[in-house]
Chain A
Amino acid sequence: MEPQAAAVPAGSATAGRRRPGYEPAHLLLYGLLLAVVGVLVVLPIASVLRGAVVDATGFTVAHVARFFYTPLYLESLRNSVYAGVGATALASLLALPPAFLLGRYRFRGQGLLVTWLTVPLVIPPFVGAIGLNQTLGRAGVLTLLLEDRLGVQFVAAEGLRGVILAHALHYFPFILLTVTAALANVDPSLEEAAQVAGARGLRLLWRVTLPLVAPAYAAGAILVFVRATDDLGTPLILNVKNMLGPQAYFRITTIAREDPDGYAISLVMLLLALGALGLATRLGQRREVATLQTGAQRAGQLLRGWGPWVLLAVSMLVGFAGLLPHLGVVLLSVSRVWSLTYLPTGYTLDHYEEILFRAPQFVLNTLLYSTTAAVLAVAVAVGIAYLQHRGRVPAPGLLDFAATAPIAVPGVVLGVGFLRVFDHWAVPGLGVPLTALWVVFPMLYVARRLPYAVRATSAAMAQVHPTLEEAAAVSGARRWRIFRRVVLPLVLTGAVAAGILVFVTAAVEFSGTVLLISRVEQSPLSYGIYLYAQSPRGRGAAAALGTVAVVLVALGTYVANRIGGRRPTLTW
């Protein structure tokens, strides 16, 4: 006999004559998944909220109010918003000219240009910041060149400016991809109608084309804003302390775990992110209106006149700028000495020896945590996607909602929540809190990346036509066998692709990780980069770890896209 847990005959559940509402096996899975999502997502978020508005005396708004009376916090809020707006503006400047070129013109080497311009996505901002420091920082090669050759003293990658630059250079491809797609999908007849009505050139662009792609642009731009506002790793690497992320981090880790100010800051970050993403959703709803329903692409124009050639030149400049972080990191990782000179004065593989042989735990821990997180996230996501599409359970949307909630939660906030909840969970038999064990890291990564895994798996599940399962049932397969032989193989490709993306994003997660570090031996690669970067002598090793991270991300993204056959949609 088959394992029968999932194969309770339909009849036994049907006391009445109507088709039964609920399925016992589904209910069991539903309960299990609700518990998992509840512990990983709902509890931590709820505990942060509680920490911000509840204290020994009960409900209070005093802590949140104090946030707005404390000059340091207000300055941090201003700086965070400034960094977000700045990064969004700069990323837009970088993204829009190539987007227009790619969305409207057709030329040889177009695919190559797209690939080149999306390379920045593989370098996380906090790793990129290390590279930027070497190229555009105080002693960076371009800064020195500028001063020596032109006599201009300008440090681009320093302080808040550096945070803005790191994010803009990382995220501009995201705006580029959304806007390119939107431009290519605008129904040509809408523009033709305007041309017939007398609009041409820039007026056509301004009055018709730009309004049509604005919703797509806004969605991309708001994401950049949220990420730059929330970030913790990039400010820490660039030694910027007066932002919301670093403030929350320092309050919680250096003042006290129970310090209410840390939770108040977290609450403000959460509200900021929620507000921005809510705005993005509202703008996104208007997006359907103007695009081609058929998915047909317009025929691109040829490069005629000087306009498109200028765009091409600008795009290539943007492409070079996008490589600056990579160049800095890779070069630094093999340099013996690189200080106040254009290029390193000596080369070495010592830094790789350090991180691969002398202190291999960073890389090994990352592989362990990320693999665990990927497997867990896929298992949970497959379950949620199945129940969402086939589940005979009460309110299947509840599970989906809870699982995708972390999309709006900054990593710092989730990390703070994890710390607050799991510091009090004693592990039976060990007498230590859960936060002392390595599993807390994969748990955090699952929570952060579940939204993406659920979306990808759910999309795959939506492709499975119900008759495929009915055909299996009629052929003699029981419920578990139908799932094993038909449903699972069909969603597995999508799920594995999602799992690989969970792996790579987990491998470079910093914001939450840094809050949960209690012992260096447990720290993964991302925290290792931060540790090494603290001392001038360690920067080479930090860069070497960063290079490993970039290679992992690039490989993973490539494989996931090959399997999943989709455009890169990497975000962290």
Chain B
Amino acid sequence: MQMAERVLAVEVELDRLTKHFGITAAVRGLSLSVGRGEFFTLLGPSGCGKTTTLRIVAGLVEPDEGRVLFDGKDVTRMPPWDRNLGMVFQNYALWPHMTVFDNVAFGLVERKVPGSEVRRRVREALEKVGLAGMEGRFPSQLSGGQQQRVALARALVVRPGLLLLDEPFSNLDAKLRVQMRSELSRLQRELGITTLYVTHDQEEALVLSDRIAVLDSGRLVQAGSPRELYEDPKEVFVADFLGGANLLPAVVVRAGTGEVEVELSGRRLGVPTDAELATGQAVWLSVRPEHVEVTSDSSGELRATVQATDYLGWTLQAELVLEDGTCLQVRGLDPSAPLRPGQTVGLRIRPERARVFPRRA
């Protein structure tokens, strides 16, 4: 990659954004900052406000309150065409009456780039996404994956300061999705472009992102690197949404600073925590399915019955029931382990990897 091709990436700051549609609040007081060249993902279930937030950044939706800043400059009221963006839509939004060339060239024509340069840059952009020679096709003559690449080329060709992607891979099949994911990652790093990515797919978010913001009902729940969010969720929503933790009902039996002791199914466990918890308080004990050890002798700390097993070839996962009736998922077991439904097994939870969150009745 030549230096000349590198774009002038911007820094994005969202300052207390709020947006209502009718009486429904889509975004409530959302503040975030995205660093120069960072790959930043907005993650959350459908209806959490992530797409609205992206559209506010694009200028397609005006917020009721709050500001959007690009490199410290307030662009909240700036129309989309002046923001120098690249955007990939969920349905690609390729113009059906234009060829691949015209689709990609569109933004350059609007920027009054001379014809010879338009041709060169469109060719380069299409080469970059692996579509050289497809210039004369119409979108209807392309496969879903090819349309996706055209949309990406169209977004990148204008050398935008910020790349916005709205669930770009949700219409692709699983295999293609993984392939496109790694290509996007490579392109983004090559170009060093600031990228704001919207998805409800946690795996996509973990693989691609420098940082992730988890959104719920229009609010920011937690932002951080994939590792921080996965390993140290600050809220039960994050633990549950990202990686699907087991949430086991427990009670604090001894409060302390940095660590508490909880009781689960008649057993006591010491768990690290930052939260202020009182003795006797009901909590969720959050345990990742891969942080549970299963032993065949049932003399371990906890005892459980095997409910069902899923054999995936390279690994084994199981659904267990604790003695108090709580269900528990376990992953990453040795596939040769002789687990049978109905069998009683011992469990060992690695307390340093577990977390506790207050539980409301």
Residues of A with Cβ closer than 8 Å to B? 9-11, 14, 17-19, 465, 467-468, 470-478, 481, 485-486, 489-490
Contacts and interface: CB of A to CB of B under 8 A. Distances in A.
Contacts of A18: 64
Given A468-B93, A474-B81, A475-B81, 8 more contacts: A9-B82, A11-B77, A470-B60, A471-B154, A474-B85, A476-B81, A476-B84, A481-B110
B167 to A, nearest CB: 12
B77 A17 contact: no
B106 to A, nearest CB: 5
A467 B62 contact: no
Contact residues of A: prevailing secondary structure? helix
Given A10-B62, A18-B64, A471-B93, A476 B107 contact: yes
B79 A473 contact: yes
B360 interface: no
A477 B97 contact: no
A468 B79 contact: no
| Best-surrounded residue of A470, A474, A478 (most CB of chain B within 10 A) | A474
B87 interface: yes
B152 to A, nearest CB: 12
Given A465-B93, A471-B87, A471-B89, A478 B79 contact: yes
Contacts of A468: 93, 95-96
7 contacts: A9-B82, A14-B62, A467-B91, A468-B96, A470-B89, A474-B59, A475-B110
A382 to B, nearest CB: 15
Contacts of B107: 475-477
Given A475-B158, A489-B97, A14 B77 contact: yes
B15 to A, nearest CB: 14
A476 B158 contact: yes
Contacts of B137: none
A55 to B, nearest CB: 51
Contacts of B96: 468, 490
B127 interface: no
Instruction: Using C-beta atoms within 8 Å of the partner chain, give the interface range for chain B.
Output: 20 to 34
Interface in B59-89: 59-65, 76-87, 89
Interface of B: 58-65, 76-87, 89, 91, 93-97, 106-107, 110-111, 154, 158, 164
A471 B88 CA distance: 8
Nearest to B86: A474
B77 A10 contact: yes
A11 B96 CA distance: 30
Given A467-B91, A490-B96, A474 B58 contact: yes
B154 A475 contact: yes
Contacts of A478: 79, 81, 110
Contacts of B80: 470, 473-474
B158 A19 contact: no
A185 B59 CA distance: 45
A269 to B, nearest CB: 44
Nearest to A467: B93
Contacts of A11: 76-79
Nearest to B160: A474
A472 B78 contact: no
A484 to B, nearest CB: 11
Contacts of B77: 9-11, 14
Chain A CB count within 10 A is highest, among B76, B79, B154, for: B79
Residue from A10, A470, A476 with most neighbouring chain B CB atoms (10 Å): A476
Contacts of B64: 17-19
Contacts of A472: 95, 106
Interface of B is mostly: loop
Contacts of B83: 474
B320 to A, nearest CB: 45
Nearest to A472: B106
- Cβ-closest 5 pairs across A and B: A11-B77, A475-B107, A467-B93, A476-B110, A471-B93
B98 to A, nearest CB: 8
Nearest to A2: B110
Contacts, number: 84
B193 to A, nearest CB: 15
Chain A CB count within 10 A is highest, among B62, B107, B110, B164, for B110
Given A468-B93, A471-B95, A476 B111 contact: yes
Nearest to B106: A475
Contacts of A485: 106
A115 B345 CA distance: 78
A435 B78 CA distance: 50
Contacts of B82: 9
A121 to B, nearest CB: 31
B14 to A, nearest CB: 16
A9 B78 contact: yes
A473 B95 contact: no
Contacts of A467: 89, 91, 93
Contacts of A14: 62, 77
Contacts of A471: 87, 89, 93-95, 154
B61 A19 contact: yes
A475 B93 CA distance: 12
A468 B98 CA distance: 12
A95 to B, nearest CB: 38
Contacts of A9: 77-79, 82
A474 B91 contact: no
Given A473-B80, A475-B107, A490 B97 contact: yes
A565 to B, nearest CB: 15
A464 to B, nearest CB: 9
Contacts of B89: 467, 470-471
B65 A17 contact: yes
A244 to B, nearest CB: 48
A564 to B, nearest CB: 15
Which of A9, A475, A476, A490 neighbours the largest number of chain B CB atoms within 10 Å of its CB? A475
B111 to A, nearest CB: 6
Contacts of A476: 81, 84, 107, 110-111, 158
Contacts of B97: 489-490
B30 to A, nearest CB: 16
B110 A477 contact: yes
Contacts of A17: 63-65
Contacts of B76: 11
A472 B58 CA distance: 12
Given A472-B106, A481-B110, A486 B95 contact: yes
A408 to B, nearest CB: 35
Nearest to A20: B62
Contacts of B78: 9, 11
Nearest to B105: A475
Contacts of A470: 58, 60, 80, 87, 89, 93
A8 to B, nearest CB: 9
Contacts of A19: 61-62, 64
Nearest to A11: B77
A261 B89 CA distance: 63
A540 to B, nearest CB: 48
Contacts of A465: 91, 93
B91 to A, nearest CB: 6
Contacts of B91: 465, 467
Contact of A474 (B60, B62, B94): B60
A307 B107 CA distance: 64
Which of A18, A465, A467 has its CB near the most chain B CB atoms (within 10 A)? A467
A202 B76 CA distance: 70
A477 B79 contact: no
Contacts of B87: 470-471, 474
Contacts of A477: 81, 106-107, 110
Nearest to A18: B64
Nearest to B85: A474
A19 B89 CA distance: 22
A476 B106 CA distance: 9
A491 to B, nearest CB: 10
B168 to A, nearest CB: 12
Nearest to A489: B97
Contact of B79 (A10, A475, A486, A490): A10
